[in-house]
Structure 1
Amino acid sequence: MTVTIDRATPADIAELRQLYYAVYGPHYPTALGTDPAEMSRLIADPHTLWLVARHSGSGGLAASAAVHGEAGSRVGRLEGLAVHPERRSGGLAHALTDELCRRTLDTGRLDSVYATVRTVSAGPQRVVSRNGFRPMGVLPNAVDLNSRESLALYARHSPGVLDRRLPVTEVPAPLGPLLRTVGASLGIDYGHVRRTAPKTVPARPTTAARLEMIEAPSFVRRRFHERFPDSERWFYPLHTPNALLASDDDSFEVYAYLNRTGRYCSLIAAAPDPAAAADYLEPITRTLTRAGAGYVEALVPLSEHGALSAFLAQGFIPSALYPAMRPESDGDGFHDYVVMSRTAEQIDFREVVVDAPLQPFLDAYAAAWASTYLPTLEVAS
């Protein structure tokens, strides 16, 4: 049976929800496949390209995928890739992904597109790999579906973007394994980057401010856009905060996206600046863990040695590297970013299935985790 690929329409929403239920069951953690109002918004969004594969005869949906973007950003996220269980042998995942990349990357509409890929089997990894995406790292315990799952970060860049990366002179030494792995995967030379000891993080004052957490999505969103009209100051693009953590002395605020279904959290921005909250990463993470986040992550520029050191000091692990993720605000170069992650739950890689190109990233994460959490033992002879 042949299919045609075209844009999703509002008339498809009911059938799209059935498709995502058939593929992921009742625990799919994103609104793209579950919330009719959000699905309608994304279909109409000029910064989102949502494609579906239809049976040529009946018009029924066989597969779906989207690249989601936002105003002011040239980064897209491949999401919602779903092929009906009865149509998985027809190459539809490859065809949809290829068409999305052709319309967004090959045309220069976006600089890069990333995807977080499940590791319950090698199939999803091979789909994105065949479409030019390359692995960037492993995100352990990143989402709760039927059970706690680890994800892999993949990305694909427009031609020439990786060649315009801005140089970085030094990074904290625990990032060494990740830089070597990404360099080998993408053919990038990080040999000139010095690996130095993490900077000492000042002790948090004994009279530390207490944290208050506000979960009022509309209020948080309005306040966030008032504080951050320019997306250059965000940690994480393509995430809208729905939670606010504020100190009771009004010294800082942290904006986060908390997904209670998937039980994960992304730190998006801090006011008046990230340094104001750096000394409080431990209580911030503890508060989010109590709120149900088994996994917390943040994006940090590779050039920010101090910020990376602060996250390392609080048990965050360099899980992935996104080269040339963001253009500089007043030039032609691109900044590299690091995904720093921390999980409150035991990591179990026994059920993880990784394709060969991803295996070195799993090894790099294990090395970074060991250097953070395992003590150095002295052996006396």
Structure 2
Amino acid sequence: MTTTIDRAAPADIADLRQLYYAVYGPHYPAALGTDPAEMSRLIADPHTLWLVARCARTGHLAGSAAIHGEPGSRIGRLEGLAVHPDHRAGGLAHTLTDELCRQMLTAGRLDSVYATVRTVSAGPQRVVTRNGFTPLGVLPNAVDLSSRESLALYARYSPGVLDRRLPVPEVPAPLAQLLRTVARTLGTDGPEPRATAPAPAPEGRSTARLEMVEAPAFVRRRFHERFPDATSWFYPLHTPNALLVADDGGFEVYAYLNRTGRYCALIAAHPSPATAAGYLEAITRTLTRAGTGYVEALVPLAEHGPLSAFLAQGFIPSALYPAMRPDPSGTGFHDYVVMTRTAEQIDFRGVVVDTALQPYVDAYLSAWAATYLPTLEVAS
């Protein structure tokens, strides 16, 4: 079958929705394939490149993929990769991904592009690997499709970006295996950060009462009032739509809550992350009661205290995003850790991982066991 690759157009929206339904069924959690208004916005967005593959004979859509960016950021997200079941033997997934990366990375528009890839089969992992993406971790129970699924984090970089990672002198010991795995994957041979004991858990009230506000327009306005400078927060490509407020007004936590996929990303805290650090248990419990099965946060690798706070509340270091964010001084790039916590039982029996991803599953299981399996003393 001969196909042509070109940019998605507003006239394609109805056919795109049919394509995503054919590939993912009725449970696809992203607005990119389900919400006509958001799809129209992304097609017109100058920071997003959305490509489609058309059957040359019929004009029908055979595939779709996009790299989504945002103003003020040089990180993109590969999303919406879908090939119609009738056209999966022609290498369309590879062709679409390669063309997207050529235009966005090779041309220097972005520093890096990441993808969260399904693990129900090895096929999606091999597509991104063939297109120069590197595995960086696993995100167990990350999204609810027809059932709870785990995802894998991959990223691809513009030339020279990984060579400018800023060194970190020490990290909490539970991160050590993940960092060693990333170093082997990237082939880096520099000095490893020193593994030290996590800092004591911050004082807080696990019984704190929180109010949760789900009013996207209000939350967005308040967020931009609190954080007018984009450098004050660091969660790319997620706009908060939920607000958690302590009953005494002591802090606010901004989050992106996806009701369809039943997952949540913690984006920022006011007046500072340290203020909310002692309340992570109450925050997570509130989100779980709201139906969230998975919570994640991005934490700078250099921030020993916040990492320790997440570890103390049962969050697991699941992935590392090297050279994710440039330092404002322009001297290099900071690494970030994806800290995750799931409220549901993890079942890896249905997970299929490619060889390159297996060490990350091992690192996660080791960190999970160290967190949740007690060390028993044997009495003689």
Letter in 1 for 2:233: W
**Do the aligned partners of 2:63 and 2:81 also contact (CA within 8 Å) in 1?**
yes
1:294 maps to 2:284:
no
Write out the 4+ residue segments of structure 1 that deviate beyond 6 Å after TM superposition: none
3-state secondary structure, aligned to 2:356: helix
Letter in 1 for 2:312: A
Letter in 1 for 2:113: V
Residue-by-residue CA offset, 1:241-284 (whole Å, 9 max, x unaligned): 10000112211100000001000000011111101100000000
The residue correspondences of 1:144-223 to structure 2 (distance < 5 A) are 144-189=144-189, 191-205=191-205, 209-223=208-222
| 1:120 counterpart residue number | 120
Letter in 2 for 1:185: T
CA distance in 1, matches of 2:320, 2:240: 22
With normalisation by structure 2, the TM-score equals 0.98
| 1:101 counterpart residue number | 101
**Do the aligned partners of 2:118 and 2:151 also contact (CA within 8 Å) in 1?**
yes
The residue correspondences of 1:335-350 to structure 2 (distance < 5 A) are 335-350=334-349
3-state secondary structure, aligned to 2:109: coil
The residue correspondences of 1:1-381 to structure 2 (distance < 5 A) are 1-189=1-189, 191-205=191-205, 209-381=208-380
CA distance in 2, matches of 1:293, 1:222: 24
**Do the aligned partners of 1:235 and 1:267 also contact (CA within 8 Å) in 2?**
no
CA 1:239/1:171 → structure 2, altered by over 3 Å: closer, same or farther? same
Letter in 1 for 2:166: L
**Do the aligned partners of 1:231 and 1:237 also contact (CA within 8 Å) in 2?**
no
Shift of 1:378: 2.5
Shift of 1:379: 2.9
| Runs of 5+ consecutive residues of structure 2 not aligned to the other structure | none
3-state secondary structure, aligned to 1:70: coil
With normalisation by structure 1, the TM-score equals 0.98
Shift of 1:190: 5.8
Letter in 2 for 1:131: N
**Do the aligned partners of 2:205 and 2:279 also contact (CA within 8 Å) in 1?**
no
Shift of 1:205: 4.8
CA distance in 2, matches of 1:190, 1:236: 27
**Do the aligned partners of 1:81 and 1:93 also contact (CA within 8 Å) in 2?**
yes
CA distance in 1, matches of 2:192, 2:98: 35
**Do the aligned partners of 1:282 and 1:314 also contact (CA within 8 Å) in 2?**
yes
**Do the aligned partners of 2:251 and 2:275 also contact (CA within 8 Å) in 1?**
yes
Letter in 1 for 2:165: R
CA distance in 2, matches of 1:332, 1:199: 28
3-state secondary structure, aligned to 1:347: coil
Shift of 1:332: 3.0
CA distance in 2, matches of 1:39, 1:179: 37
CA distance in 1, matches of 2:377, 2:133: 43
Once the two structures are overlaid, the 10-residue window that deviates more, 234-243 or 12-21, is 234-243
